[in-house]
Amino acid sequence: MKSGCKYGTHRVILPEGVLPQAALKIDNTMEIYDNEILVDVIALNIDSASFTQIEIEADHDSEKIGRKIMEIVEERGKMQNPVTGSGGMLIGVVEEIGAALKDKIDLKPGDRIATLVSLSLTPLKIEKILSIKQDIDRVEVKAKAILFESGLYAKLPEDMSENLALAALDVAGAPAQVAKMVKPGDSVLILGASGKSGMMCAYEAMKRVGPTGRVVASDRREDALEMLKKNRFCHEAFAGDATKPVEVMTKALAHNGGREYDIAINVVNVQNTEMSTILPVRDGGIVYFFSMATSFTKAALGAEGVGKDVTMIIGNGYTRGHAEITLEELRESESLRAIFEELYV
């Protein structure tokens, strides 16, 4: 067995010298190096921004979506959408563990895992697409993948279905960061609040703000917002188009007694929503961009342009304990779990 770099740089083909995530092409030969893990893939959970882009390009036709996914993986050696740059994650069964890793990790062949590093850097070889579930961005496949030594993973829990765990772990970074960022008494605005990560963030924010705080949810569909209110995942909610900043700001402030927010969280899956997130936040507040459709340029120049001295956080997909915090939400809240079962499984 050959020895590999902890970060997987030994698999980078093009351009030379970059890490696998930034590479245009990586080596997806399914013969492992001594510090890699070979995974027999069950399903891919394509990142929402990526899946939405492919779906639109393919006119929502499953065959065309499948062809596009195969094309991307054949060209890049990984499932990284060339337009959004994003990936997603996968679930599978550990098939083989490199000799140099065997004694260092708590995994053995046969364990079922979810990879918690993006598909945008994971060597992947798809033999066949078995089915495409457009409503939940999921692609069932016959495929193999490689996890690098630095690659994060979670063993799939026994007390919930694989698909339920996969749905939640896909967005694990967001609720876990909300858990660390939101303090008692904070006012929190969430854009895209009735989506998958939105609901988890809203639930977590409600827990963290306590009786003196306030969580206001926004999304574009009224019915979905009713569901959030009914389940007490927010104090108040309003429908609005996150690509229309003035409209969103006006409604957002009206739902917070005219005051600007301490924190705004963006979990929308479309472009041009930066200013709707920035405008309603007070000077010294926090703007948290989890959305992969966020533009650094638009956020940075936009905040400067309106003279907002806010701290802007890029939604790192990983924060310590993110898988545990996220799965715990589904154990704590029967209603959140029931909604996830209904919508994403």
Note the residues at the interface with ligand NAP (CB under 6 A): 47-49, 86, 170-171, 173, 192, 194-198, 219-221, 241-243, 267-270, 290-293, 315, 317
Residue 170 CB, shortest distance to ligand NAP, in Å, is 6
Query: In this structure, are residues 315 and 291 in contact, taking their beta carbons and an 8 Å threshold?
Result: yes
Q: Considering beta carbons, is residue 144 or 196 the nearer one to ligand NAP?
A: 196
Residue 194 CB, shortest distance to ligand NAP, in Å, is 5
Q: Considering beta carbons, is residue 20 or 98 the nearer one to ligand NAP?
A: 20
What is the signed CA dihedral for 9, 15, 17, 20, rounded to 10 degrees?
-30
Residue 325 CB, shortest distance to ligand NAP, in Å, is 14
Residues 6+ apart with CB under 8 A from 217: 190, 193, 194, 198, 202, 225, 228, 229, 233, 234, 236, 237, 238
| Nearest position to ligand NAP, beta carbon | 195
Query: In this structure, are residues 152 and 318 in contact, taking their beta carbons and an 8 Å threshold?
Result: yes
Q: Considering beta carbons, is residue 196 or 208 the nearer one to ligand NAP?
A: 196
Q: Considering beta carbons, is residue 21 or 28 the nearer one to ligand NAP?
A: 21
Report which of 211, 183, 191, 170 is spatially closest to residue 330, judged by C-alpha positions. Answer: 170
Residue 5 carries which DSSP code?
Answer: -
Q: Considering beta carbons, is residue 101 or 279 the nearer one to ligand NAP?
A: 279
Residue 291 CB, shortest distance to ligand NAP, in Å, is 4
Report which of 258, 262, 259, 187 is spatially closest to residue 217, judged by C-alpha positions. Answer: 187
Tokens, residue 57: 């390009």
Residue 215 CB, shortest distance to ligand NAP, in Å, is 16
